[in-house]
């Protein structure tokens, strides 16, 4: 698998994603600077990391979505290259129009950093195949703007197309307002595009990839990408 | 050129005697810019004039110390050609006036102190003290400080992994915000601040200079009064995004051989950075102030020299490397300007469009600033509190109240607002005795913690100083780490009052004794004096930040019980029956804040700690908690609450039960050991002369003492978790 991690000024999970990709693939990904106007040939996966791109002093991800490298990411995505956006990466992908919806301030207006339980919904993608439908996994979140919004019509379409990848849930898989950490519509924590080739998610799979860090539920996602894209 | 009147001198915080010294040094009347420079350089904050005499007595050496106090941060050898670089620094006054920016820029400043030496920051911690929860401003200050720390740390992408919080009415008018950063560098890539090389270029990088923070250091060197709110414009404004870029750009430049010396611009900005670099290197400097990147038009040399705008660094480069360095900073979209050169004159010459606007001798200013031997009186010894004189409440009721009290309630509401996992190496998360951060791509880690028990220090500065050091040592030991060194952040009241100065002197003595006994030197620190409002001083608070090394991350311990049926062993008790003086039990249950604090037996401390660490590294336990605020039963309750597993205790120290359960005797740990191993561990303890006694067994979902009532762990946890979120959700 040939993977690249985008680096914006203010990205701060770029190294963490690179470590996770390397741990699964045995190969360090290419780090792509935001000003690049061309991406290397033959990429299988582009990862857009968490952080505060350009400081996120405007709407989170809004400036990064218009950076030179994102034009190329969009072009690659159209060709079917897999794109994974985590946290700020998810915000950037929605701002860039690669994924529907928007991410607003958390319901209680506070930054939230903790492990959360997620219910896996769509297991038909290269990202989510190793999980079983309805499985409960534990990933950390660390965000201030993770409140997923879509209007009624869009929400119906996302749900109808099976684009929901993960929902915030309880340890037993209950999806309710009490398990909705940030006010996201329908507890949505991650979605894919219509083709299932682009995944955006607020939780950080790269942060739980070995028991020493507190869990390894994120590891299968990277292993599966390596398997599907090698 | 304005005439310097006594009013102007006073406005600059200089005494008449100090101004006389200025005239002597200058040989003429200074101009306003020069006076401003003297003012900040000789402020308490920059010159340590009241504290220097006593700080010099602290032990700072050990074979593993690479660089002790005097540089931007302390440096210790952690093996495999790596060094840990760390320091703690206060941002108290600004945080009281403008809590969000005050706390945020406190984090930014301490980060720069660490990465300026070549270390990538890997962990942030913070030691916070707020006023009484009932005080009208407390909620607002907690909320602002926590979001400021989070807002800055989360954005720069350095995990905030630990710290401590106390509430006490003595901080009503002076909160304490002490921020600590720990970084890791290659030992052959450590950068210092001494300027060298006549003719070498002096380079400014980072953010532009604005008018913010002018006289911040002077503000931090005076008592507060009713007009302090008007000092809001002296608080700096932070930009964590620029700081993140500055970290990456500096790391990139540091990988080359272009840097001769580097220093961040912290308190007193360009003045203190340029003076310190020149003074340490015995050099002169000529600065062309009109070349400084400016944020606003119409700025004056006075403002440029005194601005405390954030996210700026000063460097001396190897000649000819300017273009290469400029390219790196431009890549990161940061300002880069050659603003001066080193000279051999020993003087600081300031130019403005070619005209000399300041000319000062460097050494008398930087190195020969005033040093005071302020009068002090020792704190009188407080009487011991006899347990028999203290109200005895049923243990379950006392425990329920204690764990829901402001000083013991869960801090989850705070640390969940901090990204404590970014960088992917947080092995021991907040909430433990010490947090553990893995050294990247290795199986070793740093154990880091902050601690101080201000009520002990108030009652007995010497014992309290010892205790603060010993508790950080114990915290690191409890996770299996080898404690290596500390940074001290000395927060006190007005040193011109002999009783306050006596607190400072006593605390230094206690800290020093503990450092020597525990082989645990001071490698960096910071002093914050004048923490008084309307004559009311804070509790003396020498906050200690400790750093230790975990040699094998597969041999560590944490607080939560891991299994049922394990035997709980209490190490360190000996024949002590429970010390209630200055305990939280005495304060929260009996409503008395008095007595002598628990004495610290440093020989016992070391013996017990070394033994417990050995039990951990022998893999005979992975469950350890040191005993601190609240005593034995609170420690066991915390182990239960964090795991959901209960315990049945059998406790009898031969005195009253409330003293045994809630006494705060030092040098103690609770350790859970498999039943099959416990006899062997106890035999080893006996052989080593370490007091050890079985006090119970883990299991079930409730906590009980000597039979009788059992308290559900869930009820304890709910009460422990509820206080802070409920408090913060009211009002404000």
Whether residue B343 sits in one domain with residue B473: no
User: Over the stretch B619-663, which tens digit does the pLDDT of each residue have?
Assistant: 999 999 999 999 999 999 999 999 999 999 999 999 999 999 999
| Interchain proximity A212–B240, CB inside 8 Å | no
Residue B693 lies in a domain: yes
- What is the structure's pLDDT at B369? 79
Q: Which of residues 153-172 of B touch A (CB under 8 A)?
A: 154-157
- CB contact, 8 Å: B245 with chain A? yes
Give the three-state DSSP class for B718. helix
Structure tokens that stand for B581 in this block: 């003086």
How many A-B residue pairs are in contact by the CB < 8 A criterion?
79
Evaluate whether residue B637 is within a structural domain.
yes
Check whether B92 is labelled as a binding-site residue: yes
Domain tally, chain B: 2
Tokens coding A71: 């034009």
Q: How close is the nearest chain A Cα to the Cα of B323, in Å?
A: 21
B204-213 average pLDDT score: 90
Chain A residues lying within 8 Å of B424, measured CB to CB = 15-16, 19-20, 206-207, 213
Kindly determine whether residue B244 and residue A52, on different chains, have CB atoms separated by under 8 Å.
yes
C-beta atoms of B332 and A212 within 8 A: no
Among chain B residues, the shortest Cα distance to A35 is held by B331
Domain with B624, as residue range(s), is 387-404+449-523+556-729
d(CA B213, CA A108): 32
- Burial degree of B398 (CB within 10 A; 0-12, 13-18, 19+): buried
Structure confidence by residue, pLDDT tens digits, B341-388: 999 999 999 999 999 999 999 988 876 678 899 999 999 999 999 999
Q: What's the total number of domains in chain A?
A: 1
CA of B651 to nearest chain A CA: how many angstroms apart?
34
What is the domain-level CATH number for residue B461?
3.90.650.10
Together in a domain, B232 and B333: yes
* Out of A10, A142, A144, closest to residue B244 by CB: A10
CB contact under 8 A, B417 and A9: no
Contact A52 B155 (CB under 8 A): yes
Residue bearing tokens 């909705």: A180
Predicted local distance difference test score (pLDDT) of residue B104:
97
Q: Are B634 and B610 within one domain? A: yes
Residue B416 and residue A112: Cβ atoms within 8 Å?
Answer: yes
The span from the CA of B518 to the CA of B605, in Å, is: 8
Q: Spot the catalytic one: A34, A36, A87, A117.
A: A87
Q: Under an 8 A CB cutoff, do A10 and B333 touch? A: no
Q: Is A91 exposed, middle or buried (0-12, 13-18, 19+ CB in 10 A)?
A: buried
Residue B216, pLDDT score: 62
Cβ count within 10 A of residue B66 = 17
Find chain B residues with C-beta within 8 A of A142's C-beta. 154, 419, 421-422
Rounded to a whole number of angstroms, the distance from the CA of A54 to the nearest CA of chain B is 7
pLDDT band at B228 (very low <50, low <70, confident <90, very high): low
Ranges B61-70, B204-213, B222-231: which has the least confidence: B222-231
On whether both B366 and B394 belong to a single domain, the answer is no
d(CA B732, CA B721): 20
Judgement on whether residues B462 and B348 belong to the same structural domain of the protein: no
In angstroms, the CA B474 to CA B625 distance is 9
B476 and B346 fall within a common domain? no
pLDDT of residue B325: 98
B488 annotated as belonging to a binding site for a ligand = yes
Residue-wise pLDDT tens digits, B493-531: 999 999 999 999 999 999 999 999 999 999 999 999 999
CB contacts of A10 in chain B (<8 Å) are 155, 241, 244-245
H-helix or E-strand containing B260? strand B259-264
Q: Which residue on chain B is closest to A206 by alpha carbon?
A: B424
B684 is in an annotated binding site: no
Closest chain A C-alpha to B611 CA, distance in angstroms: 25
> Cβ contacts of residue B472 below 8 Å, gap of 6+?
B434, B449, B450, B451, B483, B486, B544, B545, B546
Active site residue: A34, A117, A143, A204, which one? Answer: A204
Instruction: Give the one of A10, A13, A144 whose C-beta lies nearest to B241's C-beta.
Output: A10
Closest Cβ opposite residue A111 in set B150, B333, B427:
B150
Chain A interface includes B456 (CB < 8 A): no
Residue of B nearest to A60 (CA): B155
pLDDT at B207: 95
Cβ separation of B154 and A144 shorter than 8 Å? yes
Closest chain B residue to the Cα of A139, Cα to Cα: B421
**Which of B100, B419, B432 to substitute to test the interface with A, most A CBs within 10 Å?**
B419
User: How far is Cα B495 from Cα B50, in angstroms, rounded to an integer?
Assistant: 7
Domain match, B359 and B461 both: no
B469 pLDDT tier (thresholds 50, 70, 90):
very high
Cβ–Cβ < 8 Å for B609, B667: yes
- CB contacts of B423 in chain A (<8 Å) are 15-16
Tell me if residue B45 is catalytic.
yes
Interface touch B421/A140, C-beta < 8 Å: yes
Give the whole-angstrom CA distance, residue B497 versus residue B495: 5
Q: Are residues B392 and B362 in the same domain?
A: no
At A64-109, the pLDDT tens digits run 999 999 999 999 999 999 999 999 999 999 999 999 999 999 999 9
What is the per-residue DSSP string for B558-575? BSS--STTPEEEEES-TT
Task: Identify all chain A residues contacting B244, using CB atoms and an 8 Å cutoff.
Answer: 9-10, 12, 52
Q: Is the pLDDT of residue B457 over 70?
A: yes
- Are B349 and B396 in a shared domain? no
Q: What is the pLDDT of residue B370?
A: 84
> Are residues B290 and B315 located together in one domain of the fold?
yes
Quote the pLDDT of residue B234: 67
Q: Are residues B361 and B396 in the same domain?
A: no
Q: Do B423 and A16 touch (CB under 8 A)?
A: yes
Given a cut of 80, is residue B213 above it in pLDDT? no
**How many angstroms separate the CA atoms of A127 and B253, rounded?**
38
Q: How high is the mean pLDDT of chain A?
A: 97
Q: Which of A16, A55, A114 sits opposite B241 (nearest CB)?
A: A55
pLDDT value at position B268?
82
B309 with B393, same domain: the answer is no
Asked if B155's CB is within 8 angstroms of A15's CB, the reply is no
Q: Which residues of A touch B (CB under 8 A)?
A: 9-10, 12-13, 15-16, 19-20, 50-52, 54-57, 110-114, 140, 142, 144, 204, 206-207, 212-214
- Which of B150, B151, B424 minimises the CB distance to A206? B424
Check whether A216 has a pLDDT greater than 90. Answer: yes
pLDDT band of B615, cuts 50, 70, 90 = very high
Instruction: Give the pLDDT score at B217.
Output: 59
> Which residues of chain B from 391 to 450 reach within 8 Å of chain A, CB to CB?
415-427, 429, 438
Question: Would you call A204 a catalytic residue per the annotation?
Answer: yes
Residue B222 in tokens:
């005076």
The per-residue pLDDT for B732 is 46
Give percent of chain A with pLDDT exceeding 90. 100
Q: Is residue B660 in some structural domain?
A: yes
Residue in B154, B157, B421 closest to A111 by CB: B154
List the domain range (segments joined by +) for residue A223. 3-229
CA distance B592 to B390: 9
Residues 6+ apart with CB under 8 A from B413: B724, B725, B728
Facing residue for A113 by CB, picked from B147, B239, B421: B421
The answer to whether the CB atoms of A55 and B150 lie below 8 A apart is no
Is A113 strand, coil or helix? strand
pLDDT of residue A64: 97
| ipTM for the whole predicted complex goes beyond 0.85 | yes
Residue whose tokens read 């741990």: A23
- C-alpha B604/C-alpha B142 separation (Å) is 37
Provide mean pLDDT across the span A12-27.
Answer: 98
Q: What is the CATH number of the domain that holds A86?
A: 3.40.50.880
pLDDT at position B1 is 47
Residue A207 has its nearest CB partner, among B332, B424, B427, at B424
Q: Are B64 and B521 in contact (CB under 8 A)?
A: no
Question: What is the pLDDT at residue B35?
Answer: 93
DSSP annotation string for B446-483: EEEEEE--HHHHHH-HHHHHHHHHHHHHHHHHHTT-EE
């Amino acid at each position: 698998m040939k993977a690249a991690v985008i680096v914006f000024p203010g990205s701060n999970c770029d190294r963490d994603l690179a470590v996770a990709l390397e741990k699964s693939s045995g190969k360090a990904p290419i780090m792509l600077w935001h000003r690049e106007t061309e991406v290397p040939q033959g990429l299988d996966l582009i990862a857009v990391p968490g952080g505060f791109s350009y400081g996120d002093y405007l709407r989170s991800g809004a400036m990064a979505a218009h950076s030179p490298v994102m034009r190329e990411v969009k072009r690659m995505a159209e060709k079917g290259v897999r794109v994974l956006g985590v946290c700020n990466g998810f915000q950037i992908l929605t701002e860039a129009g690669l994924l529907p919806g928007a991410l607003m301030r958390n319901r209680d207006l506070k930054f939230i950093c903790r492990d959360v339980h997620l219910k896996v919904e769509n297991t038909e993608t290269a990202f989510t195949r190793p999980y079983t439908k309805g499985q409960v996994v534990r990933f950390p979140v660390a965000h201030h703007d993770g409140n997923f919004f879509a209007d009624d019509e869009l929400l119906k379409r996302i749900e109808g197309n099976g684009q929901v990848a993960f929902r915030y849930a309880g340890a037993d898989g209950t999806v309710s307002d009490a398990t909705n950490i940030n006010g996201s519509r329908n507890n949505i924590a991650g979605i894919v595009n219509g083709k299932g080739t682009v995944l955006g998610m607020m939780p950080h799979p790269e942060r739980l990839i070995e028991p020493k860090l507190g869990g390894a539920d994120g590891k299968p996602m990277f292993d599966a990408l390596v398997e599907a894209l090698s | 050129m304005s005439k310097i009147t006594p009013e102007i001198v006073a406005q600059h915080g200089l005494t008449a005697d100090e101004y006389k010294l200025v005239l002597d040094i200058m040989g003429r009347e200074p101009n306003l810019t020069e006076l401003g420079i003297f003012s900040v350089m000789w402020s308490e904050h920059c010159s340590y004039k009241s504290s220097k005499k006593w700080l010099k007595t602290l032990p700072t050496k050990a074979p593993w110390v690479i660089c002790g106090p005097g540089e931007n941060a302390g440096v210790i050898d952690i093996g495999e050609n790596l060094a840990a670089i760390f320091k703690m620094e206060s941002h108290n006054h600004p945080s009281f006036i403008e809590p969000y920016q005050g706390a945020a820029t406190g984090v930014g400043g301490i980060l720069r102190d660490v990465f300026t030496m070549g270390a990538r920051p890997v962990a942030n911690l913070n030691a916070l003290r707020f006023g009484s929860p009932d005080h009208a401003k407390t909620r607002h200050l907690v909320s602002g400080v926590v979001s400021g720390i989070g807002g800055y740390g989360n954005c720069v992408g350095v995990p905030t992994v630990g710290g401590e919080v106390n509430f006490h009415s003595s901080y009503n008018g002076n909160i304490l915000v002490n921020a600590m950063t720990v970084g890791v560098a290659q030992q052959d890539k450590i950068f210092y601040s001494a300027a060298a090389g006549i003719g070498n270029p002096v380079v400014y990088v980072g953010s532009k200079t604005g008018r913010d923070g002018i006289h911040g250091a002077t503000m931090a060197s005076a008592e507060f009064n009713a007009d302090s709110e008007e000092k809001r414009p002296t608080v700096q404004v932070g930009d964590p995004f620029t700081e993140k870029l500055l970290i990456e750009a500096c790391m990139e430049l540091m990988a080359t051989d272009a840097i001769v010396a580097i220093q961040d611009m912290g308190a007193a900005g360009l003045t203190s950075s340029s003076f310190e670099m020149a003074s340490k290197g015995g050099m002169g400097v000529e600065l062309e102030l009109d070349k400084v990147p400016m944020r606003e038009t119409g700025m004056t040399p006075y403002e440029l020299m005194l601005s405390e705008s954030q996210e700026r660094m000063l460097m001396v480069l190897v000649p000819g490397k300017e273009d290469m360095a400029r390219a790196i900073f431009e890549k990161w979209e940061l300002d880069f300007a050659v603003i001066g050169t080193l000279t051999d004159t020993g003087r600081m010459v300031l130019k403005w469009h070619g005209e000399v606007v300041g000319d000062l001798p460097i050494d008398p200013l930087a190195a020969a600033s005033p040093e005071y031997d302020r009068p002090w009186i020792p704190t009188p010894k407080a009487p011991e509190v006899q347990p028999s004189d203290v109200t005895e409440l049923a243990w379950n009721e006392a425990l329920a109240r204690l764990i829901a009290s402001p000083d013991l309630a869960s801090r989850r509401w705070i640390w969940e607002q901090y990204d404590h996992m970014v960088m992917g190496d947080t092995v021991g998360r907040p909430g433990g005795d010490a947090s553990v951060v893995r050294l990247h791509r290795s199986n070793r880690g740093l154990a880091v913690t902050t601690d101080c028990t201000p009520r002990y220090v108030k009652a007995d500065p010497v014992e309290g100083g010892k205790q603060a050091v010993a508790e950080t040592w114990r915290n690191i030991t409890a996770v299996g780490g080898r404690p290596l060194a500390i940074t001290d952040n000395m927060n006190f009241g007005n040193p011109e009052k002999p009783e306050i100065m006596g607190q400072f002197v006593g605390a230094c003595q206690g800290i020093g004794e503990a450092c020597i006994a525990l082989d645990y030197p001071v490698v960096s620190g910071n002093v914050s004096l004048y923490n008084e409002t309307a004559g009311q001083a804070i509790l003396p608070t020498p906050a200690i930040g400790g750093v230790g090394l975990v040699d094998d991350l597969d041999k560590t311990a944490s607080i939560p019980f891991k299994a049922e049926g394990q035997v709980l062993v209490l190490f360190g008790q000996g024949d002590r029956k429970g010390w209630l003086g200055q305990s939280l039990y005495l304060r929260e249950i009996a409503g008395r804040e008095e007595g002598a604090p628990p004495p610290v037996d440093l020989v016992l401390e070391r013996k017990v700690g070394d033994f417990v660490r050995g039990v951990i590294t022998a893999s005979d336990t992975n469950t350890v908690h040191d005993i601190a605020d609240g005593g034995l039963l609170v420690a066991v309750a915390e182990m239960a609450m964090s795991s959901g597993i209960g315990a049945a205790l059998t406790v009898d120290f031969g005195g009253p039960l409330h003293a045994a359960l809630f006494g705060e005797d030092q040098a103690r740990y609770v350790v859970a050991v498999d039943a099959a191993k416990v006899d062997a561990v106890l035999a080893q303890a006996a052989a080593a002369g370490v007091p050890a006694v079985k006090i119970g067994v883990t299991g079930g979902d409730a906590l009980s003492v000597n039979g009788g009532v059992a308290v559900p762990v869930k009820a304890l946890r709910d009460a422990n978790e509820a206080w802070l979120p409920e408090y913060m959700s009211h009002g404000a």
